[in-house]
Amino acid sequence: MLKLNKISLASIGLFVGGILFLVGFWAYAKGNSTLNLVGFFYGFPILLGGFAFKSSEVAPVPVIVPESEEVVALRKLQETSTQKQLRRDVTRYRYGIKAHLDEVLEKLGMRPTDEERPLLIGIYEEISQAEETKGAYSLVLRFQSPLMGFDVWQQKQDKLTRFFGPGIVAVVTELANKEVDLRLISQNAAS
């Protein structure tokens, strides 16, 4: 099944606009004024729109670990609307933003400058293994955080829980290479 949110509108605009524009040039050379007008008057604006979209495009974040059948089954039972929206938003092309979750990080005080902003570099889903949340569905957001120390992430952990809640507990984990995993663990465990 073709997923339209996985297709870049910018690339479509550039392709269609480029083809129409080239057809316009070809028609001009051949003396076909009708096709010439169509090519120039539709192709050029579509091509410009493609360039505009490309300049503000943010590519989907890769899924680091493929989802298993167990995780998908648990997701269907426990996923919160926030987890669902986050998963959908970061795995599709976005336009008019600087980076995925940029506004969220700004609201949480975790983006003092564009250079210090942690960058979302991947996501995956898992079944929580932590003692207090064992067996719960977890959406994990992996950030590259070279200029923001892990101590800042730890200080913001309660604020992250309140921001992404209700029904979610946020847990941060420090990784190698200045990476941080933000686990958004569902508290909607089936009884």
Domains in the chain (CATH in brackets) are 4-55 (no CATH), 59-186 (3.30.980)
Handedness of CA 141, 144, 145, 151 (dihedral sign): positive
pLDDT digits 0-9 by tens, 44-79:
888 888 888 888 888 888 989 888 899 889 888 898
Residue numbers in the chain where pLDDT is lower than 70: 1-6, 112, 188-191
* Residue 188: per-residue pLDDT: 66
pLDDT value, residue 190: 44
Supply the pLDDT for residue 124.
92
How far, in Å, CA of 44 to CA of 41, rounded? 6
**What is the rounded CA–CA span in Å between residue 133 and residue 140?**
14
Residues forming beta bridges with residue 138, ordered by sequence position:
126, 185
Check residue 5 and give its pLDDT.
60
Task: Give the pLDDT score at 56.
Answer: 80
Q: Looking at residue 106, what is its pLDDT?
A: 83
Contact 163, 140 (CB under 8 A): no
